[in-house]
Amino acid sequence: MFLEIRHLLSLKTISESRNLSEASESLHLTQSALSHQIKAIENYFDTQIFQRQHKPLQLTAAGRRLVELADSVLPAVADVEYELKQMAAGERGRLHITIECHACFEWLLPALDQYRETWPDIEIDIRLGMSFEPIPALSQGKIDLVITSDRLAAKDIVFEELFNYQAMLAVAPDHPLAKKEYIVAEDLKNETLITYPVERNRLDVFTKFLFPAGIEPAATRQAELTAIILQLVASRRGVAVLPDWVLRETMATNNLTTRPIGASGMFGTLYAAVRKTDRQAAFIEGFINMTREIHG
Amino acid sequence: MFLEIRHLLSLKTISESRNLSEASESLHLTQSALSHQIKAIENYFDTQIFQRQHKPLQLTAAGRRLVELADSVLPAVADVEYELKQMAAGERGRLHITIECHACFEWLLPALDQYRETWPDIEIDIRLGMSFEPIPALSQGKIDLVITSDRLAAKDIVFEELFNYQAMLAVAPDHPLAKKEYIVAEDLKNETLITYPVERNRLDVFTKFLFPAGIEPAATRQAELTAIILQLVASRRGVAVLPDWVLRETMATNNLTTRPIGASGMFGTLYAAVRKTDRQAAFIEGFINMTREIHG
DNA sequence: CGTTATAATTGAATCAATTTCATATTTTTA
DNA sequence: TAAAAATATGAAATTGATTCAATTATAACG
């Protein structure tokens, strides 16, 4: 490859000018530089590009082919350069989010609708993190943001605290447990516990509450969607432990009561994990700030 | 514009290699050069292109966009470079021919069929030269070859002799003039002269034969096609002056007799006019040699 | 977990290429 | 035909890219 973008730009400009001197001005070069440039191209290809000795600098067939190339290449390059600058400014980018907690859909989906308004050029996608470990995937650039409650060690990743939540037991208003001030592990011994379909050791109810007390619920059952879980609870088919933000909004409409887990409550924190290199990107900042505001 | 083809080529190669060193080998550069090149791009756009600190050198979103650009730009550039080299070698080019003499169609069209076989990548076109002066058009690159019998002065144009011809009077075999050894101007005083539809001063019969003798034919009539002229002559609707090569082939089939013009005959030469810069091009040489052989 | 091997970065020096400057040549215009 | 405008050219200067040598980082291995 001999040609460079520079050559194409010069050629294009010359073809749009009446003479070399005029072209050289708009290119911020001397006319001599252009003359040398053309000669170099003509030497390399061993063919004329301009019909010399004619007033309105006329292209030869070879010249026309080059200008044609310039016409297709230059705009493409200019576009990409513009896009890259936008990316660098954080106005454009990819935000592929993985969430580990199913319940997060409840606030994430409406939040993203709002986000899209401020960041129209960010390519958003959400994946449920099951088939792969999210933090390595983040390191490798397969995804761009992980919403998680585990702060794992990884040197090129930062964890930004989004908000705290309290896990609450959701029961039907006429359920016996609705009368208790707070729930202890033994209370669940005779209950059906409804959870999202994930491993037990990824559920706080088990890891932080039932396992330590050595208690096993009477039965467990899984449901994919939060709305289904809430309906099951309302119709007294079981109880569920959910973050307070899910329940706060739906308590009234779904006719539910919530009770704290344990005497001092069960709390957690949600983090946004991002690559250190992305941390300062405007569209990442924007996402973090927005979610903090929503839950502030 | 900051990006150059060089950058795109490096990027593309790196993206297809396992590491910088490997890429640098196929690019015939040191790995240091590549490292500097990448850094320059990253500095300019203020954004990462590769996910560092990971074994299989992984592209960032920005990097992917650049490789995408390279994928579209590099083949286009390579194609044009190849085409230009072909053009320089004369294997590819444009041969837009203008003919001034209508009769030339008779040998030109079959000749071009033959030419196309040897020069498949030459873009051929024929135009009847009426609306413009052919030699300036040639200078300006609007056309590439003029077939003419006038050798006009023009400094960037060369005239290559193709072949000589004799202008002959075509008459029906039982026409009184068929018995004469040769034709004198007065012989046409009582004849209908059939010509191609062009100005008189562009017809040799008038400029070289009738005007000097001050003779006007009894009538003139025009016909576009040589075949029509020949038919008209055969059916004794008039006489016509045509180059010998036209008549040689059709004399037998069309039942015609030919007679020389003047005691010493009327001769002419056909030239191919081309730009000096094109003269050496293989496909121009090819055209000239072919027509010379046909008429040799 | 430290050691070795491999790969990437960095800064300085070198080398190559492009641009400018000054001038000559060519072409156009009056 | 002279003057003006445009282009071409060669040498010097500048810019920019590449290499070299050394350092640092990363992966591989015992």
> Testing the interface with A: which of B4, B5, B27, B54 to mutate, by most A Cβ within 10 A?
B5
Numbers of helices and strands, H then E, in chain A: 11, 11
Spatial contact of B67 and B75, defined as CB atoms under 8 Å apart: no
Q: Please tell me the pTM assigned to this model.
A: 0.74
- Kind plus residue range of the DSSP H or E element containing B128: strand B122-128
Locus of tokens 């309302």? A234
Q: Which of A73, A27, A32, A36 is nearest to B4 (CA)?
A: A73
Q: How far is CA A250 from CA A193, A258, A290, B114, B242, in A?
A: 19, 11, 22, 85, 101
Q: Return per-residue pLDDT of chain A as tens, 296 residues.
A: 999 999 999 999 999 998 899 999 999 999 999 999 999 999 999 998 988 766 667 888 899 999 999 999 999 999 999 999 999 888 898 899 999 888 888 899 999 999 999 999 999 999 876 567 788 888 777 788 999 988 887 777 889 999 999 999 999 999 999 999 999 999 999 999 999 988 898 888 999 999 999 999 999 999 988 989 999 999 999 999 999 988 877 766 778 899 999 999 999 999 999 987 788 888 999 999 999 998 87
Could you tell me how far CA A3 lies from the centroid of its own chain? 38
**Which residues are in reach of strand D, CB within 7 A?**
A 18-22, 31-32, 35-36, 38-39, 50, 52, 57; B 4, 6, 28-30, 32-33, 36-37, 40, 52-55
pLDDT of residue B287 exceeding 70, the answer is: yes
Residue A10, beta-bridge partner list: none
User: How far apart are the C-alpha atoms of A13 and A24, rounded to whole Å?
Assistant: 8
Give me the CA A152–C1' D26 separation in Å, rounded: 21
pLDDT score at A60: 85
Give residue-wise pLDDT tens across range B42-96.
999 999 898 876 666 788 889 999 999 999 999 999 999 999 999 888 889 889 9
State which residue has its Cα closest to the C1' atom of D27: B55
Q: Which amino acid is at A210?
A: L
B200's CB contacts (< 8 A; 6+ apart) are: B206, B207
Closest by CA position to A241, among listed A167, A166, A185, A148: A167
Share of chain B above pLDDT 90, in %: 66
Q: What is the dihedral of CA A274, A276, A277, A283, to 10 degrees?
A: 40
Per CB-CB distance under 8 Å, the chain B contacts of A61 are 87, 93-94, 141
Closest residue of B to A90, CA-based? B47
* pLDDT score at A134: 85
> Cα B227–B228–B230 angle (5° rounding)?
65
Question: Which of A1, A47, A62 is nearest residue B78 as measured by Cβ atoms?
Answer: A1
